[in-house]
Structure 1
Amino acid sequence: MWEIIVASLMVIAEARYENVNIKQDWWETAVFYQIYPRSFMDSDGDGVGDLNGITSRLEYLKEIGVNAAWLSSVFKSPMHDFGYDVSDFYTIQPEYGSMEDFEQLLKKANELDIKVVLDLVPNHTSNESEWFIKSASRDEYYSDWYIWENGHMDDNGFRRPPNNWISLFRKSAWTYSPNRDQFYLHQFGEAQPDLNFRNPVVVDEIKNIIKFWLEKGVAGMRINSVNHFFEIDKDIYGGRYPDEPITGKPGLGPDDYGYLEHIYTKDQDETYEMVSQIRDVFDAITLRNNVTRVMMTDAYTSIKNAVRYYGEGIHSGAHIPFNFALVENLDKDSDARDIKYVVDRWLTYKPLRKQANWVIGNHDVSRVASRFRPELVDAFNMLVLLLPGIAITYMGEEIGMLNGFVPWSETKDPLACNTDDPVNFIEVSRDPVRTPFQWSNGKNAGFSTADKTWLPVAEGFEHLNVANQRSAVRSHYQVYRTLTNLRIRPAFRFGRYESLALNNDVFAFKRWYNDDTYVVVMNVGKTYRIVNLTAFDLIFGQLEVEASSVLSSRTYSDNVQAGYLDLAADEALVLRMQV
């Protein structure tokens, strides 16, 4: 409890001195919208989303207040992990379209003043990449581009991997290559061999890839899985990679990633210096073009490690190191105190003058409506969009899409397939959050004219879709649009912040700039609650409703009493102080 109190005081103190300079770059208060290209919009009827489909829907992004479209990987790939196993970083995946299609997307986005950000996956490539094929053949130039190691023969004459390291996708992180008579490391799927970041030629090539796309007009890139760039230097251990210690967690076997403590395969100190080198590439092109090219980083790690990606000392880090606190530290059992702790903790840990960012979902994480409950969709969108900093929305969260059901027979996710379990695979499958976007109640939810889509459309799309919510007076879509309009106001762009857990169920935060003051209040419990908002300094009298969750009895311009506010279960409100 004392940690929570101290964190809260530090956040309030920080807010009093932060954001005094109101001049902000385009990205600092932007709404980034993540698009999973396979599932957003299919323009040619093959059942797979594509670039022309995205281009055709850019007006929708403008309509809901999006500033930047972030596309999951669109580079050429055999699609074992649907674009996260890249075979050519300079080429568009053919089923998504051509380079000309991509350039047309950039042109249309520019006309609408929407930035385009790409996903870059530099930790590994596809095992069908020319680089890997040549490395496996011991080509002189490419031989040391990947992590190669000798195995050993056990007492029964079976070939065994170099050590006990486990892939995030389960089972050994080493796969034998007969061509080279060695094992290669893959921290993800066996079709995704890890690059060797201790080879300066590899680093230069990654930098060249970044330069290529930024010079083409891309506004930024998200650098994927940065904390896996380096493994421990084996020379420290006599030239061999050591085993990782066992966690001892119950219910886990030697094939499960959580079975080991990954002290040698992620979060190595060299990573932060490499991120600084990569940031220099972004900064050089920013200076040349006089428009900021933004660097985002993705790392599931501790908060102490996560905030290091902002940069340390004289070394710059990422503009936006992803904050997964709302994803990793909240679940359906979380209450108002948990939300306050998670939000305030990030604001306390991050460097004082760096921008916060808020992520509540992505293509790997169960959707908000399924992870929590549908009634809380608006509350969580209020958090993401109205807390200080940058907002990141995964496609469909603005309309409250639910996870789809994808049976074992149609499962595509390698993480699920690698369980070899047709019963329990659903616990790890990412397919349910990647089902096609629900545009309308028409065929395939308006996503595609194909007879069969790459993943089945989620049930219930006939009622839960953009067209229905557009035409409704009250809907998640309407609330989302209201919130993106609100965040343009000075109080939300660069105003101060204070938060309170008014009881176990009700979380509230105050944003203010000069005399313009707002309170965002949400009942995340399942029962009716009465709260007193005068617990905030200088909140009194009447407040006016600016936005309300879909099931709220309140609507725009209704008045409520600060000293006595009754909240229905799941009700969330944005209130403005009357002056």
Structure 2
Amino acid sequence: MNMTPKWWHDAVVYQIYPRSFCDSNNDGMGDLQGIISKLDYLKSLGVNVLWLSPVYKSPMDDNGYDISDYQDIAPEFGTMEDMDKLLAEAKKRDIRIIMDLVVNHTSDEHPWFVEARKSKDNPYRDYYVWRQPAEDGGVPDEMGSVFGGSGWEFDEQTGEYFLHIFSKRQPDLNWENPKVQEEVHKMMNWWIDKGIGGFRLDVIDLIGKEIDKKITGNGPRLHPLIQQMNRATFGDKDLLTVGETWDATPEIAKLYSDPAREEFSMVFQFEHISLTWKHGDKWQPIPLDLPTFKKVLTKWQVELADEGWNSLFWNNHDLPRVVSKYGCDGQYRVESAKMLATTLHMMKGTPYIYQGEEIGMTNVAFDSIDEYRDIETLNFYKERTENGVAPETMLAAVHENSRDNGRTPMQWNDSTNGGFSSVAPWIKVNPNYPEVNVSAALDDQNSVFYHYQKLIELRKSMPVIVYGEFEPVFEEHEKVFGYVRSDAQQRLFVLNNFTSDAITLDLPDHLQAEQVECVIANYEYPQALPASISLKPYESFAVLLPESR
């Protein structure tokens, strides 16, 4: 191992989407006091970092990713006193809080933008990106919005267009303005002084954009801006920083996460996620091709082995539930959820668990588009159906890939609304909450929850999982994902059946053993590895091989 150990190397992060986690005051929306009430549950799971999706003051056009005040809390979530209490109570349990920070854009209600649109010579005008209309009076160029339509919005008051890569209520900040940089750094230091454990930086690869050259992600100014941020804020502190970088390759990820470059701890890359999107379009879902999927994950494991660091995740607030996406959310929900957990948590990197993943929560299939709340889902449904896509086709794509799959309320028990709230929540609860909930999971020693708890314990007690080398096996096999993790002391063989089929597998000589120590499995623990083994549907295990090869 060539790298200096960091506290976050063996940490496990749990992502909370606050509006859907726990509603303490029964207004239909989750809040900070609700999170505080569940800290003992999270401690028992074993996680030691909580990443909160944004809780800042916001008009909630994009569920809080449109911030109107970086140094205040949205009233629906509570107060700054609640935030301070959450930090204090988490610290008592050795849990750190990571803040989700959005600095590519603000809300159009942020005081900077309110001032900026008053006049072209306002001191805050250059905090944002403005352009004159095109010669025909229309949009300046063809820059599109991630949420559909043009990325330019006309401002009547000043007769110019402002840029919004996302919603028109999320104007992009002008990172070429040193005052913007100073303001953001000052705000970040304010949060660091409060005692947070770090930042998850939303769409951070967009801050180096060059509009006139049509460059959005990974612009030439990106890394100098991040290095400047590092020096001005978290660089000399022992914090976890993770950047959301949709277009990152392993080479780009090394630029972000090689400690010598002084940027971030790690990034989120999405190459494995987009493999089930036809031509990169999430609204045209296609089946998972396992050999390609394995190649991508192996590439990231191997390429970042000695430089940089990997984040490990299956789902988040923007993605569908993993057991529905890559597993089986019906007959083999428990088995496949455990298999997917083992696959991910035995790899090298920092694992991220999204709320409800640890109990095997599934996608939701609402009957009508009217039951969805996500701005991206609603915009694309309207756009595609108006352009000829059949409503039932589009609804099927929504069922598979809508961001609302991960945003239905956390299922705590089998009472009304899954124990999330005593009143109707902001979005409906998944109807399967009577069977799939925390209370039922805690009562069942064979539940998905205890499997995750065991995986977290293993990571904290076995250095081979944290730092060991990664060697793929059965690379071309269409049904299993296998690999070996090894260091000077141990060899750990991990084998996962990604299908509902029973499989017979011939093991190569170096993986055969008359006796093995199994550390985790979702069926019986194997005692030996003969030349030929049989795997049950979604069977998964990790075994320590004898030291002699």
Amino acid at match of 2:185: K
Return closer, same or farther for 1:442/1:265 CA change in 2, 3 Å cut-off: same
Moved more, 362-371 or 518-527: 518-527
Residue in 1 that maps onto 2:342: 382
Say whether 1:298 aligns with 2:258: no
> For 1:302 and 1:543, how far apart are their aligned partners in 2?
39
> For 1:137 and 1:20, how far apart are their aligned partners in 2?
54
Aligned ranges for residues 12-51 of structure 1 at < 5 Å?
19=1, 24-51=5-32
Say whether 1:456 aligns with 2:428: yes
Aligned ranges for residues 438-453 of structure 1 at < 5 Å?
438-450=411-423, 452-453=424-425
Return closer, same or farther for 1:370/1:541 CA change in 2, 3 Å cut-off: same
The answer to whether the Cα contact below 8 Å between 2:319 and 2:402 also exists between their aligned partners in 1 is no
What's the CA shift for 1:284?
A: 4.6
The answer to whether the Cα contact below 8 Å between 2:258 and 2:307 also exists between their aligned partners in 1 is no
> For 2:10 and 2:246, how far apart are their aligned partners in 1?
23
Amino acid at match of 2:228: Q
Q: Secondary structure at the match of 1:325?
A: coil
> For 1:514 and 1:284, how far apart are their aligned partners in 2?
32
What's the CA shift for 1:512?
A: 3.0
What's the CA shift for 1:490?
A: 2.3
Q: Secondary structure at the match of 1:560?
A: coil
Q: Secondary structure at the match of 1:353?
A: coil
The answer to whether the Cα contact below 8 Å between 2:99 and 2:200 also exists between their aligned partners in 1 is yes
Aligned ranges for residues 365-380 of structure 1 at < 5 Å?
365-374=319-328, 375=332, 376-380=336-340
> For 1:163 and 1:497, how far apart are their aligned partners in 2?
46
Structure 1 counterpart of 2:228, from 269, 272, 277 = 277
The answer to whether the Cα contact below 8 Å between 1:215 and 1:285 also exists between their aligned partners in 2 is no
Residue in 1 that maps onto 2:161: 183
Say whether 1:164 aligns with 2:142: yes
Say whether 1:507 aligns with 2:481: yes
The answer to whether the Cα contact below 8 Å between 2:359 and 2:448 also exists between their aligned partners in 1 is yes
Return closer, same or farther for 1:335/1:415 CA change in 2, 3 Å cut-off: closer
Amino acid at match of 1:143: R
> For 1:524 and 1:417, how far apart are their aligned partners in 2?
32
Residue in 2 that maps onto 1:113: 94
> For 1:318 and 1:50, how far apart are their aligned partners in 2?
29
Amino acid at match of 1:485: E
> For 1:149 and 1:508, how far apart are their aligned partners in 2?
53
> For 2:327 and 2:66, how far apart are their aligned partners in 1?
33
Moved more, 305-314 or 181-190: 305-314
Residue in 2 that maps onto 1:133: 114
Return closer, same or farther for 1:397/1:174 CA change in 2, 3 Å cut-off: same
Residue in 2 that maps onto 1:484: 456
> For 1:483 and 1:91, how far apart are their aligned partners in 2?
36
Say whether 1:546 aligns with 2:519: yes
Amino acid at match of 2:270: F
Q: Deviations over 1:313-361 (max 9, x none)?
A: 9632211111323323368743553343112211233372322221211
List gaps (5 residues or longer) in structure 1: 1-18, 234-240, 243-262, 287-291
Q: Secondary structure at the match of 2:127?
A: coil
Return closer, same or farther for 1:99/1:569 CA change in 2, 3 Å cut-off: same
Amino acid at match of 1:276: Q
Amino acid at match of 2:521: S
Residue in 1 that maps onto 2:309: 355
Amino acid at match of 1:145: Y
> For 1:221 and 1:543, how far apart are their aligned partners in 2?
41
Aligned ranges for residues 508-527 of structure 1 at < 5 Å?
508-527=482-501
Moved more, 378-387 or 426-435: 426-435
What's the CA shift for 1:511?
A: 2.1
Amino acid at match of 1:528: A
Structure 1 counterpart of 2:182, from 204, 212, 224 = 204
> For 1:412 and 1:335, how far apart are their aligned partners in 2?
31
The answer to whether the Cα contact below 8 Å between 1:542 and 1:562 also exists between their aligned partners in 2 is no
Q: Secondary structure at the match of 1:483?
A: helix
Residue in 2 that maps onto 1:411: 372
Moved more, 468-477 or 187-196: 468-477
> For 1:73 and 1:125, how far apart are their aligned partners in 2?
12
Return closer, same or farther for 1:306/1:440 CA change in 2, 3 Å cut-off: farther
Moved more, 184-193 or 441-450: 441-450
Q: Secondary structure at the match of 1:334?
A: coil
Q: Secondary structure at the match of 1:27?
A: helix
Residue in 2 that maps onto 1:81: 62
Return closer, same or farther for 1:459/1:305 CA change in 2, 3 Å cut-off: farther
What's the CA shift for 1:483?
A: 1.1
> For 1:519 and 1:102, how far apart are their aligned partners in 2?
43
Amino acid at match of 1:542: Q
The answer to whether the Cα contact below 8 Å between 2:20 and 2:407 also exists between their aligned partners in 1 is yes
What's the CA shift for 1:302?
A: 4.0
Q: Secondary structure at the match of 1:273?
A: helix
Return closer, same or farther for 1:361/1:372 CA change in 2, 3 Å cut-off: same
The answer to whether the Cα contact below 8 Å between 1:357 and 1:389 also exists between their aligned partners in 2 is yes
Amino acid at match of 2:104: N
Q: Secondary structure at the match of 1:392?
A: strand
Give the superposed CA RMSD: 2.2
Structure 2 counterpart of 1:149, from 124, 127, 131 = 131
Under a length normalisation based on structure 1, what TM-score does the superposition of the two structures give?
A: 0.84
> For 2:468 and 2:143, how far apart are their aligned partners in 1?
47
Moved more, 81-90 or 275-284: 275-284
> For 1:78 and 1:494, how far apart are their aligned partners in 2?
43
Q: Deviations over 1:19-73 (max 9, x none)?
A: 256x622111211111100001111000100011111111111111212000001
> For 2:444 and 2:305, how far apart are their aligned partners in 1?
42
Return closer, same or farther for 1:463/1:311 CA change in 2, 3 Å cut-off: closer
Q: Secondary structure at the match of 1:559?
A: coil
The answer to whether the Cα contact below 8 Å between 1:307 and 1:349 also exists between their aligned partners in 2 is no
What's the CA shift for 1:153?
A: 5.8
Amino acid at match of 1:296: V
List gaps (5 residues or longer) in structure 2: 278-285, 386-390
Structure 1 counterpart of 2:292, from 334, 338, 348 = 338
Say whether 1:94 aligns with 2:75: yes
> For 1:113 and 1:152, how far apart are their aligned partners in 2?
56
The answer to whether the Cα contact below 8 Å between 1:522 and 1:573 also exists between their aligned partners in 2 is yes
Under a length normalisation based on structure 2, what TM-score does the superposition of the two structures give?
A: 0.89
The answer to whether the Cα contact below 8 Å between 1:339 and 1:507 also exists between their aligned partners in 2 is no
Residue in 1 that maps onto 2:253: 307
Moved more, 513-522 or 365-374: 513-522
> For 1:511 and 1:183, how far apart are their aligned partners in 2?
53
Return closer, same or farther for 1:335/1:151 CA change in 2, 3 Å cut-off: closer
Amino acid at match of 1:63: S
> For 1:475 and 1:312, how far apart are their aligned partners in 2?
38
Structure 1 counterpart of 2:503, from 498, 511, 529 = 529
Identity %: 30
Amino acid at match of 1:60: Y
Amino acid at match of 1:47: G
Structure 2 counterpart of 1:321, from 256, 267, 276 = 267
